[in-house]
């Protein structure tokens, strides 16, 4: 999540907010990823023509059905029913490229920076991306995250003291 968050930085998370409302695009959330999200390469829940989706120019369309016990923190970039592709590290949601992401580090020329083939985010799932798009292991590789796996919305940092603040 660099540059928004530094490695080792501590955040406060509202675990109750999503009991009363839906997660929103742009929210920074803590969640359980699918099993295999922390492996290299990460595991997608669906292969395309015997290959990983990223090899055929598309984000992973679905996660493995089992959740990991790890906690990840990423930004929601697409929600249920949205179509998504990736251009220059920016999500293209329902045909419109999101370009007002001043918080994002440039993606570079890696294959995951340009995934022109669209997927549709399944019902009750959210597509997550890190802010360091060229270095982030995120939904592009392991798929959208079920809503039930979202722990809560990060809203403030409390450590280290020189980075204390509200999002």
DSSP-assigned letters across all residues of 80-101: TT-EEEEETTEEEETTEE----
Q: Is residue 5 part of a domain?
A: no
Contact (Cβ atoms closer than 8 angstroms) between residue 114 and residue 87: yes
- Please determine, for residue 112, whether its predicted confidence score (pLDDT) is greater than 90: yes
Residue 157: partners with Cβ closer than 8 Å, 6 or more residues away: 5, 9, 10, 11, 12, 163, 164, 165, 167
CB 114 within 8 A of CB 86: yes
Q: What is the pLDDT of residues 4-43, one digit of tens each?
A: 998 889 999 999 999 999 999 999 999 999 999 988 888 8
Residue 139 confidence (pLDDT):
97
Q: What confidence tier does 123 reach under pLDDT thresholds 50, 70, 90?
A: very high
- CATH at 71: 2.10.109.10
Question: What are the tokens at 17?
Answer: 């907010």
pTM of the model: 0.94
Residue 78 structural domain = 10-166
The answer as to whether 3 is a domain residue is no
pLDDT band at 88 (very low <50, low <70, confident <90, very high): very high
Does 152 fall in a domain?
yes
Instruction: Calculate the CA 162 to chain-centre distance.
Output: 27
Q: Looking at the 3D structure of the chain, how many domains does it have?
A: 1
Task: Say if 135 falls within a structural domain.
Answer: yes
The answer to whether position 24 is within a domain reads yes
Inter-residue contact 44 to 143 (CB < 8 Å): yes
Q: Which pLDDT does position 35 carry in this prediction?
A: 94
Residue 20 lies in a domain: yes
User: Is position 73 within any domain?
Assistant: yes
Q: How far is CA 162 from CA 8, 13, 90, 154, 159, in A?
A: 13, 19, 30, 18, 8
pLDDT score at 163:
87
| β pairing state of 165-166 and 83-87 | unpaired
Q: 148 in a domain, yes or no?
A: yes
Q: Helices then strands (H, E): number in the chain?
A: 2, 11
Average pLDDT of the residues in 90-119 = 93
How many other CB atoms are there within 10 angstroms of residue 110's CB atom? Answer: 12
């Amino acid at each position: 999540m660099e540059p928004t968050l530094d490695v080792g930085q501590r955040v406060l998370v509202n675990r109750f907010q999503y009991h009363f409302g839906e997660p929103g695009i742009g929210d920074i959330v803590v969640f359980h990823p699918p099993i295999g999200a922390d492996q290299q390469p990460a595991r997608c829940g669906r292969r395309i023509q015997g290959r990983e989706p990223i090899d055929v120019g598309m984000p992973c369309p679905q996660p493995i059905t089992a959740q990991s016990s790890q906690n990840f923190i990423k930004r929601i970039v697409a929600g249920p029913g949205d179509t998504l592709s990736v251009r220059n590290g920016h999500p293209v949601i329902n045909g419109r490229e999101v370009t007002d992401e001043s918080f994002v580090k440039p993606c570079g020329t890696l294959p995951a920076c340009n995934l022109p083939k669209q997927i549709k985010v399944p019902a009750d799932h959210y597509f997550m991306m890190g802010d360091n798009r060229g270095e982030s292991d995120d939904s592009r590789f392991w798929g959208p995250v079920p809503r039930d796996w979202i722990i809560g919305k990060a809203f403030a940092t409390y450590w280290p003291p020189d980075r204390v603040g509200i999002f």
